[in-house]
Amino acid sequence: MRAGIGKKNLAVMFISFSKIGSFTIGGGLAMLPLIEREFVEVRGWVTREEIVDIFAVAQSLPGVIAINTSLCIGYRAGGIPGACAAALGMILPSFVCILAIAVFFINLQNNPWIQKAFAGVRAGVTAMILLAAVKLGKSILRNPPAWVLGCLSFLALAVFGINAIPVIFACGLIGFVLGIARAKAGKP
């Protein structure tokens, strides 16, 4: 386990991810700013550079980004017990919420007040996703090649409707080639 994260802090890991999982509506992308704040700024269990890498790995793996992120942070901070505590903390609130919704959904699905509430929630979630994009952009877009790749990727995905998988692989390959070229040129 990483220094500073002991078994007594597994409960803190579980509670932290439970809070994020309980009070974030909109899925994994809306959770990213909260995860970053909690584990980089408040707890210091991962660095800003590590969280960007964790988000990239979690996004590229199959499955839900929030669960993948919790597993990566939990494992990084507390090994296998940390990963289990983090994932359980992230999954449990959603599981309980889905059970409650399933029980009451038939009676509430056509309620106009519920529909209006969800319309407002969608607007807030959009703002949280935009915040995550801006924060990640500040951490990642540090040089001209990164800006060019970011803009080309956005165009490929948003304008031309290209599937994300080839875009991710192409950017990874281009980044790898640029990294080799920079290393041969003696640049960091």
pLDDT of residue 95: 87
The answer to whether 70 and 86 are in contact (CB under 8 A) is yes
pLDDT of residue 3: 47
pLDDT of residue 5: 60
Residue 79 CB: number of other CB atoms within 10 A? 15
Q: With bands split at pLDDT 50, 70 and 90, how would you rate the model's confidence at 104?
A: confident
pLDDT of residue 188: 66
The answer to whether 73 and 87 are in contact (CB under 8 A) is no
Section 3-30 average pLDDT:
77
Q: What's the number of CA atoms in the CB half-sphere (13 Å) around residue 178? A: 12
pLDDT of residue 97: 81
CA 170, 174, 49, 148: dihedral to nearest 10 degrees?
Answer: -90
pLDDT of residue 81: 92
| Separation of alpha carbons 121 and 130, rounded Å | 14
| Separation of alpha carbons 71 and 57, rounded Å | 11
Section 167-176 average pLDDT:
91
% of the chain exceeding 70 in pLDDT: 92
| Structure-model confidence comparison of residues 102 and 167, the more confident one | 167
Residue 22 pLDDT exceeds 90: no
Three-class SS of residue 26?
Answer: coil
**Hey, what are 157's tokens?**
């995905």
pLDDT of residue 63: 82
| Separation of alpha carbons 70 and 49, rounded Å | 16
Section 9-15 average pLDDT:
90
pLDDT of residue 167: 92
| Structure-model confidence comparison of residues 77 and 102, the more confident one | 77
Q: Give 23-56 pLDDT, tens digit per residue.
A: 776 667 778 888 888 998 898 888 888 888 898 8
Three-class SS of residue 44?
Answer: coil
Domain boundaries, the chain: 7-140, 141-188
